[in-house]
Chain A
């Protein structure tokens, strides 16, 4: 039995209906691509009071709670390009940012000496240079094999994959250096990984 949380009543809480999630996804995209202030204000007005309620419960102190809200929403503004609608809703993404910041804040507050930080545990705010779960260790292949598979990718996909996985660039940097939209980089990466995955399972 899992303690302290109801897991089977997904619908019962008054949470964001689907259309709000869609709207917030669009806002995040606008912030990522255009630094759109109106879109961010929408996100902020919707999420800041909600994160504040979570923060008050977690931290029990108004000033510290506001610090958590500020840091969470600052990350949303500065790193909106890391949001990936395919991995989850805006509210899940923002919750995981708040959880990570809470973890690191408590670590500092309690003066714990451990070296383990939130970025190690949950790569929510890390640039995606590898897709977790998509090419896991259990699907590891030799460099030779990968080389051959690379050659079989369409040119445009290979260019993006090479920049990200071989040169270690972020998706944002690839978009800038190739002069193409971030969305295009993301979809090319996704298609290429999917193609690689298919080729790998054909090999089995």
Chain B
């Protein structure tokens, strides 16, 4: 059951094409799993179209030329999706939402980190970083807060962080106001897609020793 969705404002910016590329990607992936947000965006697109296309700007001779040159072109099929629709880890296969499928083939391999954590970085070429993170049953990320924004989409399974419980499809936004320790007790573990624009800041116990190195793990 999905409980956490992007805000209306984020969905509107996404529909306009004005949200940042990273935010847009994670919203698109959420929409692949959430019919409610997909319908909301479709509604926004309808209204935006009405506004954007309601004022014709006088046609010119140039347009006539354009019409002729376009009709000289043959029909074309649309873009076909790539085949890598699964993400593999240790013999397990995870189905990915459509928007993320192209990136399954672009991870630089899984690395096993502290605890029962696995991480695969995706090079999106954006500011900050994007990762698939998998927590085995009983696994946890040391307690931390954020210098910037952390966006997380739960792709498979569920986890808790001391603040909330999150289920598959949930869209989670954390910033400097949130200190949390994600962990999972689900038998199947939990796979998330995460976007970070600044390194994490670890807040408790020995994990504080990670801070000087947090850019190695998370940035």
Contacts and interface: CB of A to CB of B under 8 A. Distances in A.
Interface of A: 2-3, 5-7, 10, 13-16, 35, 37, 40-41, 44-45, 47-54, 56, 66, 69-70, 73-74, 77-82, 87-89, 91-92, 94-96, 98-100, 102-103, 107, 112-116, 118-123, 125-127, 129-130, 132-133, 136-138, 140, 168, 170, 172-173
Chain A contact residues, majority secondary structure: helix
B21 to A, nearest CB: 4
A49 B78 contact: no
A172 B83 CA distance: 19
A73 B42 CA distance: 21
Contacts of A112: 21, 125
Nearest to A52: B57
B25 A127 contact: no
B33 A136 contact: yes
Interface string B85-119: 00000000001011100100010000000000000
A88 B39 CA distance: 11
A16 B106 CA distance: 43
Contacts of B44: 7
Interface string B52-67: 1111111100110011
Nearest to A10: B47
Contact of A126 (B39, B73, B76, B79): B79
Given A116-B124, A121-B24, A123-B98, A5 B32 contact: no
Contact of B80 (A51, A69, A137, A170): A170
A47 B52 CA distance: 11
Nearest to A93: B49
Contacts of B197: none
Contacts of A81: 75
6 contacts: A79-B76, A114-B124, A121-B28, A132-B38, A168-B81, A170-B78
B71 A126 contact: no
Contacts of B77: 79, 127, 170, 172-173
Given A3-B9, A73-B70, A138-B2, A126 B49 contact: no
